[in-house]
Amino acid sequence: MKIVVAIKQVPARDSLLKVDASGTWIDDTDLSWEINEPDAYALEAAFQLREGSGGEVVVLCSGPDRATQTIREALAKGADRAIHIEFSENAADPLGLARNMASALASETPDVILTGLQSDDLGYGQTGVILAEVMGFAHATLVMSIETTPGGIRVKRELEDGWFQHVEMPLPALLTIQSGAAKLRYATLMGIKKAKSKEIKRIEPVANATAPSLRLERIYLPQKSKRSQIFEGTPQEAAAQLVDKLRFEARVL
Q: Are 120 and 127 in contact (CB under 8 A)?
A: no
pTM of the predicted protein model:
0.83
CATH number of 2-209: 3.40.50.620
pLDDT of 21 > 90? The answer is no
CA triple 101-171-139, angle to 5 deg: 60
For the stretch 92-123, pLDDT in tens is 688 888 999 999 999 999 999 999 999 988 88
Q: Are 144 and 181 in contact (CB under 8 A)?
A: yes
Residue 28: predicted pLDDT: 83
% of the chain at pLDDT higher than 70: 96
Q: Spell out the domain ranges in the chain.
A: 2-209, 223-253
Residue 216: predicted pLDDT: 80
For the stretch 168-212, pLDDT in tens is 999 999 999 999 988 999 999 999 999 999 999 999 888 666 566
